[in-house]
Structure 1
Amino acid sequence: MRSRDVPVSVDSDSEQAFSLLADETRLAILRALAESPHEPLTFSQLREQVGVTDSGRFNYHLGKLTDLFVKKSEAGYELRLAGWNIVGAILSGAYTRGDDVGPVAVDPPCPRCNGQVEATYVDERVHVRCADCDKTILDAGIPPGVLEGYDDASFPEVAERFVLSLFSQARDGFCASCQGRMDPRLITTVEDLGPKDVCEDAQAVYSCTRCSEEHIAGIGMAYLDHPAVVSFYYDHDVDLSQPHLWGTAWRDKPVLTVVSDDPLRATVDFEVDDETLTLTIDETLEVHDVKRSPAP
C-alpha cells in the first residue's frame, strides 16, 4: 500500500492567500480565534489575547486576514472555514517536523516469508517493511500531530488507523489533502504503478483530480467497507471495523482475475475457511455482482 504525495503547481490566488500568513501576529490571531470556537471576540478581546499593545499595528494585521480567513460581524470576529483549515494544519504538525520513531515490531508476521515486520516513522512517513525479505507493506505520509500523545509502541496501530481513514475518505470520493474529487480505477498491470517494492500487490488506485495526490493499495482495500465483504468476514468471526491493514483479515490477499477486456471486468475472490466471496467489478472499481460459494 502506498499513499503518494505529488508536487503540484500553486496559482497566484493561492500564493497571495498564503503570503497573508507570513507573519507571527497573523498566525497568533488565527490561533486565538480558534480558542474561542463558540463565541466571536471583540477587537479589544482579540488584541488582548494576542498580546499586541499597538492598536494600529494590530488592526493592520487583522485587516489582512478579514474576509478570507476571518469573518467580521456585529458580534465580533470569528474564523472562516479557511481559517480553521490553517489552524488545523498547524496543530496537526503539517508544517513542522516530528521526531523519528522505530523500528517497532509489528504483528502478524510477513505474509510473504513469515518474517518479522517492523514499522518506522522517518521524515514524516510511516514505513512498514519485513526485516527479513524486505517486502514493503505500507508507505504513507502522516503529519507528526497524528502521533502526538502516543508512545512509540502504539505508533503502528495509530498509523494504521490514520491510513485507513485516508482510504475511507478516498473511497467516498474526497481527497484528504485538498478536498478535491478522488477518481478510483482498477490497474491490472503493476508495472504501471512504480517501484515493485512498494506496489507489488497494488491494483486499486485513487487519484485526486485537483492536486494529483494518489492512494495505491491492494484490491482488497477498495472493498474494506463494502456490505457484502463486511458481512462475509463477520460471518467468519472477523470484525472489519477493527484495524486489519496488515492483520489476519488481509493476510491472505484477495485474488484478482480479469474476465473480459472490453469492457473491462474482473473478479475479486475473498476466501475464508471453506467459503469464497466473489465480487465482479469494472475499471472504476464499481461492483456489478456478488456471489458466495464453497471454497474450491
Structure 2
Amino acid sequence: MDDETRLTYGSLPPEAALSLLGNDVRTTILWTLSEARGGDGPPPILPFSTLKERTGLDIDSSRFNYHLQELTGTFVERVDPDTRDDAQLVSGMAGPKTDGFRLRPEGTTLIRTVRAWSIDGDGSRARVELDQECHHCDGTLIGRYENAIFAVQCDDCDYLYDYNLTPPGIVAASDGRLDRVAAFNRQQRRAFASGICPLCAGPLDSEFQEPAETGYPRSDLRSVLIRRGCAHCGNKDNLTVGEFLCADAGLIAFCHERGLDVTTTPLWELPFAATDRAVTVETTDPWTVTLQIDLAGDRLVLGVDESLAVVKRRRA
C-alpha cells in the first residue's frame, strides 16, 4: 500500500497520528491510561473526572477535554454503554461497561513500545564470557550489550555469531541473561525464517547476499547470507542458511531424533546455524545453496533455491 493511502485504524495518515503526540498533556493522558491498565484484566475504563485527577495536571477541564478528544478515535476510545461503542470485543465480553475512556490497541502498542525500551539505570552490561568455544578458532566467545544491541563475538578471530536489536529488559536480570537473550533471538529469527515480520506481521521480501555486502566482520569465513526485510515497517535481519532452515520441520525432527533440540539450543551453539561450514553455494545466478548436517553418524541434506523453497531433501 502506498504511503498516500496508508491509514491507521483511527483513519489518519501515520504522520498525522504521530503529530497528535506533540503535547505533554496528551502524552500524560496516554501514560496515565497505561498505568491504570497494569497487567491484569481487561483495559480499564476511566471516567473523565477520574482520568483528569490521576494525570495530576493542573489545567481546567475544558483544556483537558480538548486534548483528550484529539486523542480519541486514534489512541484512545470512549466507551459509551448506551450506544455500545467499543473497539475491543474481548474486554466488552468481560463484564458490564461504564462510561469513560481507555487506550485503543494503537495506544496500548505505542506505550508498550516505550515501556519495552525503558529500563532503570544504565542498560549497558559488562562483557560476559560464554561457555562455548568459537567454531572457527576455538577461541573465547564474548557476549556484550550496548546501544540496544546484544552481540556474541569471538574474542580471538572476531567472527560475529549474533548481532540483534534487543530490548534492555532482556538483560536486566543478572541470572539467566544469556538464556533469555538466546530465546528472544531465536524467536525473532524463526519469525524471519517463516516469512513473517516479528514487529508488524507483514510479509517479508528476501534476497541472497554476498557476505562482504553486509559489513559483518570476517566475511572471509562466510559463504552467503539471506537478507529478509519488511516493506511495511522497515524491519529487517540477516540469517545464515542454517538459521533460516532451523524453522524447517524436517530439520527439527532429524535433530530431535538424535538428541538435539534446535528449538531450545542457542543458535551460537549450533555449528550448522552459527557458521557456513556446512553450506555449499551451488549456483549464484540464480542462487541455489545446500546445507549438510552430520549428526550421530547420520546425514541430512537440504537444498534451497532463490525463492527460499526447499527443493532438495535427503537423509543418508
Short-chain TM bin: 0.7 to 0.9
Which string of whole-angstrom CA distances, capped at 9 and with x for unpartnered residues, describes residues 145-203 of structure 1? 3333x11x53333222222121122223333344432123333x323333343795352
Q: Name the amino acid aligned to 2:29.
A: I
Query: Once structures 1 and 2 are overlaid, which stretch shifts more, 283-292 or 31-40?
Result: 31-40
Residues 285 and 200 (structure 1), Cα distance of their counterparts in 2 relative to 1, 3 Å cut: farther
Q: 1:180 is aligned with what amino acid?
A: G
Measure how far apart 1:110 and its partner are.
Answer: 0.9
The whole-number CA distance in structure 2 between the counterparts of 1:156 and 1:222 is 21
Give the structure 2 partner of residue 23 of structure 1.
Answer: 23
Is 1:137–1:198's contact at 8 Å kept on the other side of the alignment?
A: no
Show the counterpart of 2:207: 185
Q: CA deviation digits over 1:91-141, x for unaligned, max 9?
A: 101699942102101121111111111111111111211112222211222
Deviation (angstroms), 1:256: 2.4
2:136 equivalent to 1:112: yes
Tell me the SS of whatever aligns to 1:38.
coil
C-alpha displacement at 1:230, in angstroms?
A: 0.6
State the match for 1:61 in structure 2.
Answer: 67
How far apart are 1:283 and its partner, in Å? 0.8
Could you list the runs of 4 or more consecutive aligned residues of structure 1 that deviate by over 6 angstroms after TM superposition?
94-97
Contact 1:233 1:239 in 2 (8 A): yes
- Scaled by the length of structure 1, the TM-score of the pair is 0.83
Question: Secondary structure of the residue that 1:107 maps to in structure 2?
Answer: strand
Give the conservation status (yes or no) of the 8 Å contact 2:301–2:315. yes
Consecutive unaligned residues of structure 1, counting only runs of 5 or more, are 1-10
Identify the residue that residue 164 of structure 1 maps to in structure 2.
186
Structure scoring higher RCO (CA < 8 A, sep ≥ 6) equals: 1
Q: 1:254-284 CA distances to partner (integer Å, 9 max, x unpaired)? A: 6222445665433221121311111121112
Q: Is residue 88 of structure 1 aligned with residue 112 of structure 2?
A: yes
**RMSD value, Cα:** 2.8
CA distance in 1, matches of 2:64, 2:169: 29
- The answer to whether the aligner puts 1:278 opposite 2:316 as a matched pair is no
Q: How many residues align?
A: 280
Q: Conserved in 1, the CA contact under 8 Å of 2:208 and 2:287? A: no
Q: Report how far residue 248 of structure 1 moved.
A: 4.5
**1:71 aligned to which of 65, 72, 77:** 77
Contact 2:129 2:140 in 1 (8 A): yes
Give, in whole Å, the separation in 2 of the partners of 1:236 and 1:103: 34
Matched position secondary structure for 1:192: helix
Identity fraction in percent = 26
Quick one: structure 1 residues 215 and 252, their matched pair in 2 at CA, closer, same or farther if it must change by over 3 Å? closer
Of structures 1 and 2, the larger Rg is shown by: 2
Aligned to 1:40: 45
TM-score by length of 2: 0.78
Distance 2:258 2:43 in 1: 46
- The answer (yes or no) to whether the contact 2:189–2:239 under 8 Å persists in 1 is no
- Asked whether the equivalents of residues 277 and 291 of structure 1 are also in contact (C-alpha less than 8 Å), the reply is yes
Distance in 2 separating the partners of 1:160 and 1:272:
22
